[in-house]
Chains A and B, each alone.
Chain A
């Protein structure tokens, strides 16, 4: 296996032209896959020397542009008022455990697209935009379309996730990320990302190949619960070693109620 660590995106795009080349970001998913023998790239293109992929910019409206190589720890340390960025920071705080948060990156995590991971569900809830670069230029894809299947994204060969744009979310909004897992640091059994303005938007993760989004729910317990029951009745979530399909359906409405309620309660007045 060949290892290349370019200093610019243009060099990285060229390095990815080799067959079976892959990007190495923080390595916290890819190295595990390599150690387990699930992937064996012929060339790894490390992105760690590309400074343009680092850093978080806060825009005038309170939204963020997050460089793809921003670590979970950097996002977890964000103290932001706007609901959208606050939701993402809350999700970053419960990604795995300290060592993974220290070195794992948001770009690497979403390119890996584990259906039980924390960012996909948070990014769908906040209606984030994923910025994707290639030698041909830049394209922007809504998070909802970026994740398109089990560990699948719309990324094409020789494309790199370069940044994530997070809108500020509703004015005086509330944001809550709740994760049900067997032990601290594990992937979610079910995760709910809630963002509340006058109405509540909820994204649900760990519940299928891609995050599900339910919008426009009233902020009452009844409305949240019935939205949860409607979603549970309309879906057949996966069963795995963490929980059965029936268990996921059983807990979903109450998890949606709690997250939606908590987000709504954060709003002033």
Chain B
């Protein structure tokens, strides 16, 4: 049974027709072709599918699309716009914190959520905030350094 709903994605109202059991991840990738959000483990462990729901970090694979309701969805495509980078993305690039890049969209959103709530997190808070994001190139050091740079630097 297909379910019709209207979701707010990156500040745009999007009409979605998807199976009732579809996850938000299914809808983003398969219905809306927003493939920046990655499908890794598909059961909540890896963090590659991370998006923001009402500004707060969420696993899109563990979110039933039909249950999103009025909550605003932000995906990696929505953090800066086409051909632009957010300061989080820029910091990751500058720190060389990207290897294969598969985990990067999830990290960008997790870091964005962290810095919104806590503009100057310490080292422990950074690691804690990123504990649900797996990088299998194991490039964590550079990623943490990028966030430390943002946390200690001047903020726009």
Contacts and interface: CB of A to CB of B under 8 A. Distances in A.
Contacts, number: 88
A5 B67 contact: yes
A185 interface: yes
Contacts of B67: 3, 5, 24, 27, 44, 46, 48
A2 interface: yes
B59 A100 contact: yes
A184 interface: yes
Contacts of A98: 57, 110, 113, 128-129, 131-132
Contact of B62 (A1, A5, A28): A28
Contacts of B58: 99, 102-103
B69 A48 contact: yes
Contacts of B152: none
Interface in A166-204: 183-185
A46 B5 CA distance: 15
B10 interface: no
Given A3-B64, A46-B67, A98-B129, A34 B21 contact: yes
A97 interface: yes
Contacts of A233: none
Chain B interface residue count: which class? 20 to 34
Contacts of A103: 53, 56, 58-59, 62-63
Interface string A47-77: 0100000000000000000000000000000
Interface of chain B, main secondary structure: mixed
A44 B63 CA distance: 13
B69 A5 contact: yes
Interface residues of A, number: 26
Interface in A74-127: 96-100, 102-103
Interface in B50-90: 50, 53, 56-59, 61-64, 66-67, 69
A32 interface: yes
B43 interface: yes
A1 B19 contact: yes
A185 B132 contact: yes
A18 interface: no
B36 interface: no
Interface of B: 1, 3, 19-21, 23, 42-44, 47, 50, 53, 56-59, 61-64, 66-67, 69, 110, 113, 127-129, 131-132
